[in-house]
Amino acid sequence: MKTIAMSGSSGFVGTYLKKYFHDKNYKVITIKREELGQKELLKETIAKVDVIINLSGANIIQRWSKKQKEKIYSSRIESTKALVDAINTNEKEQLFISTSAIGIYENDIACDEDDCIYGQTFLAKTCKDWEKEAFKVHKRVIIFRLGVVLGDGGALKKMLLPFKLGLGGVIGDGKQPFSYIHIEDLARAYEYGINHNKLKGVFNLTTQNPITNQLFTHVLAKKLHRPALLPVPNFVLKWVFGEGAQILGEGQCVYPKRLLASGFVFKFKTIEPLLDDVV
C-alpha cells in the first residue's frame, strides 16, 4: 500500500482525490496550510510517504487586486518551495506530483506539451514560476497542467444555478476555446502517474476534444432542459472581476499529447457523455 501526502486537500479537486485514493486503499496524509511553514514537522511527514501531491494555491476566480495577485502567486510558489525542500532532505524513492494550469499557454492557439506558445499574462507567469520550483526536486516529478475540471462541485456548481433559472448564456462571443476534464479522469490520471514509474515531466490534463464556450453552453442548457439566451458581455466580466476576467472571457485550446502517447485512455472523451454523467 502506497502512502500519499497531499497539500491543498480541502478544495474541490483535493476532496475528490482524497476519497478516490482512500477507496483504492492508499493511505492519505493531509498536509495543512500551517504545516507548510513548520520545516522540521514537514520533513518528518514527507520522509514517511511514497507520493507527494501538491494542490496548494489561492482561488483565482475573483477580482485581482494587487494584494490578491500577490496572494495567488505566493500561495503557489511558497508552498511548492516548502515541499521541495522537505522532499530533497531524504533519500527515499518518491514521486512529486505538482499542479499547474493550461493558463500557461497563449490564448486561442492549439497547444500540446511540445508544440506550444506560452502566454505573457500574470497567470502564465505564475504557472511558469510554479513549475520551475517544482522541477527543483531531485526525484521523479510529474506536473499536471489542469484544464477546467468538471464534476459535482467546483466551476460547474457555480454555473448550474443561473442555468437552472434560465439565466445561463455564452460568455462574450462564445468563440473562446474550452478545454476540460471530468474529475474522475483527473483522479485516474494521478493514479496512472503513480503506478507508471517511467512517467515524468509535464502533462496536459484535458480531454483530447476541446470545444468552444458556445458549444459548452449549448450542451449544458440542453442537458438541463433550459434556454441559454442571456450572453454575458466581456465588459461586465471586467467590471466584476477586473484583470481576473481573463479566466472566464478567454481560453486555451489544449491537447493531451504526452498522456495519450503513454497509453492513458480517457473515460469521458467528449462533452456530452461527460455532462450526462455529471448533471
Q: The pTM is what?
A: 0.94
pLDDT of 243: 67
Average pLDDT over residues 254-271: 98
List CB contacts of 126: < 8 A, sequence separation 6 or more: 72, 73, 76, 77
Query: Residue 9 pLDDT > 80, yes or no?
Result: yes
| pLDDT beyond 70 at 239 | no
At 240 the pLDDT is 63
Q: What is the pLDDT of residue 245?
A: 63
The yes-or-no verdict on residue 249 having pLDDT over 80 is no
- The boundaries of the domain holding residue 173 are 3-214+221-278
CATH number at residue 137: 3.40.50.720
Mean pLDDT, all residues of the chain: 91
> For residue 137, is pLDDT > 70?
yes
- Number of domains the chain is built from: 1
Cβ neighbourhood burial of 71 (10 Å; 0-12, 13-18, 19+):
middle
Q: How do residues 164-210 score in pLDDT, each as one tens digit? A: 877 778 888 889 999 999 999 999 999 999 999 999 999 999 999 99
Answer with the residue of higher pLDDT: 279 or 211: 211
